[in-house]
Structure 1
Amino acid sequence: MDLPSVKANPPFQQIKAVLEKIPSGDHVWDLDGDEEKRILNWLVKLIATNMEWIENTDEREDLLVTVCQMIAERSGRMAAPTKVRKFTMGNHKEIRILEPSLTYDTLGFKTWGSAPLLSAHLPEWETPDPSIRALELGSGTGLLGISAAHQLGWQMVCTDLPEIVKNMEHNVLENESLVQENSGSVECHVLDWMNPPSTDHPPAWLERPFERVIASDCVYETNFGRLAIALFLKYLAKDGIVITEYPLRHTHLGEIAEFEELMQKAGFIRDTGEEIGQEDFGSRYPVTCRWSRWKYSNSV
């Protein structure tokens, strides 16, 4: 890509034409690393000058906003602006997911690498059955629950923390026609893993056990694995199945090993495998993910 020299004070139309050619949004990582680095350096140089040579204030403001957005997209998920992402399922239908800007305490606002993989592969492991009630722990944006309701007709109960559930509800409504197409449904509820509802007086949606409990990317913090297992044992039907998938990040291999050991000690055995997913905005960040279908050993 031909990038004009910033020192030459390129005019508005020339800069605008170049910016329109630079990949952004879902295609932000389409270029190879060296080309991406060259473009990022050019964008930063533009911002550093404030493009003072462009006399039209509106034109300069337009360029500054666009350049800032492009730099933010290339600064990782913490800097990514609010956006709508599109995920295509195996039947070629599309789920639209709103992802608000991320802060350190709202990781559930983003759709991480294992959720799209699990969404895609559930129909390979499960037969569509509208009678199945499934609980998802840490649903985040709601992608997996929406996908399961649509593709399998499951009656999904998606859960997360209060600050996450509102956006999840928005995404469920945005994809309502898909959810209902095969007699599926999605409910959104608050479930704090550290403070779950009392078993003496549970809410109506927790009064019956679930045939499936699903959790993607559930072991990215110390003790999350232990908390998740406690909820599996609490809410799963005796002949039910737990379905998990998580990235094998080298920073969390200890937590993953502990989680899998504790699942076996709790009486679960599994079918399992590994596949390659995307950790961030695109193929520049591939990550190996491990999926598992866990059953009680006495129910096999």
Structure 2
Amino acid sequence: MGANSDIMTSPLDLPQVWQKPCYEALLDTLASLELSPPIWNLRRKRSDILVEQESLASQRKGEVTRYLSTIIKSPLAWIEDDDRREHLWEQASRRMSERCGRTAMGEVVRRWPFGGADGVAYEPFELIVREPALTGDSLGFKTWGSSYVLSQHLPRLSASSLFRLFDESLGQPPPSVLELGSGTGLLGLAAAALWKVPVALSDLPNIVPNLKHNADLNAALVEARGGSLTVGPLTWGGSEDEIDQGLFGTPFQFKLVLAADPLYDDDHPALLASAISQHLALGPDSRAVVMVPQRDATTARLLVAFKQAMLDLDVPLFCDEEDELAGQDDWIEDDEAGAVRCWLGIFSRGGTPQSLC
């Protein structure tokens, strides 16, 4: 939110252009009207899911939009410095675009808080993630709500379903982790920080530069907590030049494979199943953890196809456990958060499946 987001007066009480306010007054006002993407606290009611503080701008959207228009349209002639006038117009235009939905917002930086959850206590920390402007084919430039849901669920998984991989009494090294379709990297970053393990983040070649930026941005925090990060391109079913051969050229490397919100078209279920099979380590202890939000009939159909694709592999991957977690998607109907059911499945190579999910 903006620096003065606790201002709760009417936009009519803000500095008006007919009053010819000084540059500093207008600049401070525009800063107070900044809108940021929501961060969800999963322990709060849906009505409280949006950002911790609601700004004047989010409460009085129409009035604020009209107010911003007066600044954009004004020549601001009483402000003598050309650069200062340009800066005010630029800031007013940004505040206007923020009220036109996520696509219009341009680049944003979001801070994701982590603390004790699901009965597992740990020292709180915060991850910082950059999301570039959403233009064209940009699904990988948005942090989807299911990534945060699964991220906060990781400590409970390591203490329960994945316990054998993290059991220090067995004298084994920490499990190596691969995240498929990392996007902005929130889930993989959280895994490295919470599990104190090496995590490889991967996505399409055009997504990797921003993914690498976010890994670098959080590397010091992750390393201080005992984890580490590597990043590289890994296109499911892609040619050799679309896959970082140094990181991902050797099959069956990773004891844990993660994927959150990975299914968007009819090709994805088989491609994802094949990618998991190729990179998941052999043996009965390795696990793949997959989360699929059930937004509509299409995502439900893709999930069914994915489950079947896992069973249709030459060496099937069985769903040992499944769960359903409450999640949120942002940017539903502009700046309202939308509840969504998130299916969680844990797959293994060996043994008799407890469930075919």
| TM-score, normalised via structure 1 length | 0.84
Using a 3 Å threshold, how does the CA distance of structure 1 residues 108 and 226 change in structure 2: closer, same or farther? same
1:21 and 2:53 correspond: no
TM-superposed deviation, 1:45: 5.1
Rounded to whole Å, the distance in 2 between the matches of 1:183 and 1:18 is 42
**264, 268, 273: which one aligns with 2:318:** 268
Partner of 1:278: 329
What secondary structure sits across from 2:299 in the alignment? helix
What secondary structure sits across from 2:86 in the alignment? helix
Pairing of 1:143-154 with structure 2 (within 5 A): 143-154=186-197
**102, 106, 112: which one aligns with 2:144:** 112
Q: Which structure carries more relative contact order (alpha carbon 8 Å, separation 6+)?
A: 1
Using a 3 Å threshold, how does the CA distance of structure 1 residues 76 and 298 change in structure 2: closer, same or farther? same
TM-superposed deviation, 1:149: 0.9
1:54 and 2:91 correspond: no
Contact 1:114/1:289 (8 A) holds in 2: no
Partner of 1:67: 92
For these two proteins, the number of residue pairs brought into alignment is 296
Contact 1:246/1:291 (8 A) holds in 2: yes
TM-superposed deviation, 1:17: 5.2
Using a 3 Å threshold, how does the CA distance of structure 1 residues 126 and 241 change in structure 2: closer, same or farther? same
TM-superposed deviation, 1:294: 2.0
1:107-152 deviation line (CA, Å, top 9, x unaligned): 2222111112211111111148452011111111222111111110
Q: Percent identity?
A: 26
Q: Give 1:3's aligned amino acid.
A: P
TM-superposed deviation, 1:204: 5.3
Using a 3 Å threshold, how does the CA distance of structure 1 residues 139 and 92 change in structure 2: closer, same or farther? same
1:55-95 deviation line (CA, Å, top 9, x unaligned): 32444323211111112222222222223221111232111
What secondary structure sits across from 1:9 in the alignment? helix
Partner of 1:3: 11
1:253 and 2:296 correspond: no
Using a 3 Å threshold, how does the CA distance of structure 1 residues 263 and 180 change in structure 2: closer, same or farther? same
TM-superposed deviation, 1:23: 4.2
Rounded to whole Å, the distance in 1 between the matches of 2:194 and 2:144 is 20
Contact 2:147/2:187 (8 A) holds in 1: yes
Larger mean CA deviation between 3-12 and 80-89 belongs to 3-12
1:162-183 deviation line (CA, Å, top 9, x unaligned): 2211222222222122222343
Q: Give 2:271's aligned amino acid.
A: L
| TM-score, normalised via structure 2 length | 0.72
Rounded to whole Å, the distance in 2 between the matches of 1:252 and 1:76 is 23
Q: Give 2:220's aligned amino acid.
A: S
Partner of 1:88: 113
Contact 1:12/1:59 (8 A) holds in 2: no
Q: Give 1:52's aligned amino acid.
A: P
Partner of 2:68: 43
What secondary structure sits across from 1:86 in the alignment? strand
Q: Give 1:125's aligned amino acid.
A: L
1:193 and 2:236 correspond: yes
Cα RMSD of the aligned pairs, angstroms, is 3.2
Pairing of 1:216-227 with structure 2 (within 5 A): 216-227=260-271
